[in-house]
């Protein structure tokens, strides 16, 4: 079977011109809008450490969210195929970015911490193992050049629980 290609398009529009453009480092806002056809826009900015608005999503958070969501979606799919019934899923993901003296930087590690609840009678060992498989399939994790690890917790509902 030939490889499939999928294309994605987003528009990033800078909205931070306060009247003088980028005439000075402090003279403009880092505000921008992320948009894609048919979807509501997302307000973005830089990290507050780089003069950004803490109320807006920054690129670093979006990267972390992408890794977490991709893992979750693969995991839920694999659980469905394996007969593991997931009733709740939450991930408290964390990433580390190292900034160099000259201002450049890069992510050095991300840890996903999914907390998964499975229905009574589901196989907890299989539920745990499927995290490894989900990581192997995750498009985003396969695309980055830093360590992405998972530290999952599996909780089992009791028999007769709602």
Using alpha carbons, list the distances in angstroms from residue 116 to 27, 86, 127.
46, 7, 9
Residues 23-53 have pLDDT tens digits of 888 899 999 999 999 999 999 999 998 999 9
Give yes or no for a contact between 95 and 112, defined as CB atoms under 8 angstroms apart: no
What SS3 string covers 54-116? CCCECHHHHHHHHHHHHHHHHHHHHHHHHCCCEEEEEECCEEEEEECCCCCEEEEEEEECEEE
Q: Is residue 133 part of a domain?
A: yes
User: Does residue 98 share a domain with residue 32?
Assistant: no
Output the pLDDT for position 159: 77
Closest CA to 46 of 59, 28, 35: 59
User: Does residue 30 share a domain with residue 96?
Assistant: no
User: Does residue 76 share a domain with residue 110?
Assistant: yes
Residue 44, SS3? strand
Residues near 49 by beta carbon (within 8 Å), at least 6 away in sequence? none
Domain that holds residue 119: 59-156
Q: Is residue 126 part of a domain?
A: yes
Give me the number of domains the chain comprises: 2
DSSP H/E element including 131: helix 124-137
Residues 124-150 have pLDDT tens digits of 999 999 999 999 999 999 999 999 999
Output the pLDDT for position 161: 58
User: Does residue 102 share a domain with residue 41?
Assistant: no
- For the record, the structure tokens of 145 come out as 């050049």
CA angle, residues 119, 122, 128, in degrees to nearest 5:
105
Question: What distance in Å separates the CA atoms of residue 103 and residue 99, rounded to the nearest whole number?
Answer: 6
The number of C-alpha atoms within 13 Å of 99 and in the hemisphere containing its C-beta is 7
Residues 72-105 have pLDDT tens digits of 999 999 999 999 999 999 999 999 999 999 989 9
Q: Is residue 20 part of a domain?
A: yes
The pLDDT-based confidence of 1 (bands split at 50, 70, 90) is low
Output the pLDDT for position 162: 59
Q: What is the pTM of this model?
A: 0.90
CATH number of the domain residue 78 falls in: 3.30.300.20
């Amino acid at each position: 079977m030939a490889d499939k290609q999928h294309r994605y398009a987003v528009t990033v529009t800078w909205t931070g011109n306060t009247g003088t453009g980028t005439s000075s480092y402090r003279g403009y806002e880092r505000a921008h809008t992320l948009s894609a056809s048919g979807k509501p826009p997302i307000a973005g900015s830089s990290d507050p450490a780089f003069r950004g608005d803490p109320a807006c999503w920054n690129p670093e958070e979006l990267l972390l969210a992408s890794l977490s969501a991709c893992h979750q979606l693969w995991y839920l799919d694999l659980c469905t195929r394996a007969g593991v019934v997931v009733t709740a899923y939450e991930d408290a993901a964390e990433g580390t970015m190292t900034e160099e003296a000259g201002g450049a930087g890069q992510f050095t590690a991300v840890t996903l911490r999914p907390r998964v609840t499975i229905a009574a009678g589901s196989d907890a060992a299989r539920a745990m193992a499927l995290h490894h498989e989900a990581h192997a399939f995750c498009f985003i994790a396969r695309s980055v050049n830093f360590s992405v690890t998972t530290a999952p917790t599996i909780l089992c509902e009791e028999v007769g629980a709602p």
